[in-house]
């Protein structure tokens, strides 16, 4: 069984490298003010052994950069695609990020009236530079459906990655409260080639992945969790910079990933707080299997 290795979280990697970094711009600030830091982070993940790197446009959305999205969103998104393509070289593929437009973990803010025009801007800017699209941190079926529809005209493969409610370990619900079964069926109906789970606690992925494999049919299944402490309920997503879990060092994170692979996952990597050393450890682990 071939395992595909994704990269890790760009935000914390940029911050660790000394890139400009603050809320609410998050990882967008480096793209806006210091794109060399973005290239450096991509190159670190490629050097660590990632098979796929993801474009750094996750925060190039109205939620993070406000009115700047209308004027500069297309150019910044295209720049993210060019930087990733250059860094990937011959050894890695590039995933074009289709991120949440209205804030991570907040399905109630999704606006179907404005989403199509925003999503079209993103996919049109990325398409010339990426190998496929990754609809990531999708909190609801409605959000994922719109993201897949936006990607479809370009004819590139599409993967869908849902974020799961960190309190739903026994039932594995989306942040919207919708079921795993309906989410996977929606991805399949939309033509996705893979379903992943990301930006959730690794324990949630450990519970969800075996069930997803059973439901998957021809879909590849995978996951890339975050290393943050759980978000306090009183804060909205991206309102504060969360700390890291001490147990999720490279060895600790690898122990979770190994269980996902044993359960049938064929795509693994890391989200927020998973750094190049984590990916390097995963590459060494995969090479030894």
Sequence ranges of the domains in the chain: 4-288
Whether the model pTM is above 0.85: yes
pLDDT of residue 262: 98
Q: Are 22 and 30 in contact (CB under 8 A)?
A: no
pLDDT of residue 243: 76
**Intervals of the chain under pLDDT 50:** 235
pLDDT of residue 25: 94
d(C-alpha 271, C-alpha 152), whole Å:
25
3-state class of 189 per DSSP? helix
Of 267, 282, 277, 285, nearest in space to 2 by CA: 267
- pLDDT per position as a tens digit, 144-164: 999 999 999 999 999 999 999
Q: Are 81 and 94 in contact (CB under 8 A)?
A: yes
Q: Are 172 and 204 in contact (CB under 8 A)?
A: yes
pLDDT of residue 248: 96
Q: Are 83 and 42 in contact (CB under 8 A)?
A: yes
- pLDDT per position as a tens digit, 115-124: 999 999 999 9
Q: What angle do CA 171, 269, 237 make, to 5 degrees?
A: 60
Q: Are 176 and 141 in contact (CB under 8 A)?
A: yes
CATH of 4-288, one of 3.40.50.10800, 3.40.50.300, 3.40.50.720, 3.20.20.330: 3.20.20.330
pLDDT of residue 152: 98
Q: Are 48 and 280 in contact (CB under 8 A)?
A: yes
Q: What angle do CA 248, 88, 160 make, to 5 degrees?
A: 60
């Amino acid at each position: 069984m071939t395992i595909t290795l994704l990269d890790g979280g760009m935000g914390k990697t940029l911050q660790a490298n000394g890139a400009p970094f603050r809320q609410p711009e998050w990882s967008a600030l480096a793209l806006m003010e210091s794109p060399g830091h973005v290239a450096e982070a991509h190159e670190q993940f490629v050097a660590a052994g990632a098979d796929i790197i993801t474009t750094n446009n996750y925060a190039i959305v109205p939620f993070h950069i406000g009115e700047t999205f209308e004027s500069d969103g297309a150019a910044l998104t295209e720049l993210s695609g060019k930087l990733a393509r250059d860094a990937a070289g011959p050894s890695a593929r590039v995933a074009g990020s289709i991120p949440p437009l209205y804030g991570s973990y907040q399905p109630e803010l999704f606006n179907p009236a404005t989403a199509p025009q925003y999503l079209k801007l993103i996919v049109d800017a990325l398409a010339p530079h990426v190998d496929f699209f990754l609809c990531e941190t999708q909190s609801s079926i409605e959000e994922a459906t719109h993201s897949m529809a936006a990607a479809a005209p370009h004819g590139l493969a599409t993967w869908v990655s849902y974020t799961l409610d960190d309190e739903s370990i026994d039932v594995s619900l989306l942040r919207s409260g919708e079921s795993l079964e309906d989410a996977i069926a929606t991805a399949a109906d939309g033509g996705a080639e893979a379903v992943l789970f990301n930006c959730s606690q690794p324990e949630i992925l450990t519970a969800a992945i075996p069930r997803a494999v059973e439901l998957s049919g021809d879909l590849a299944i995978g996951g890339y969790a975050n290393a943050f402490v759980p978000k306090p309920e009183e804060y909205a997503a991206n309102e504060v910079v969360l700390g890291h879990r001490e147990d999720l060092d490279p060895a600790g994170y690898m122990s979770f990933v190994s269980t996902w692979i044993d359960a049938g996952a064929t795509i693994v990597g890391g989200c927020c707080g998973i750094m190049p050393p984590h990916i390097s450890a995963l590459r060494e682990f995969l090479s030894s299997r």
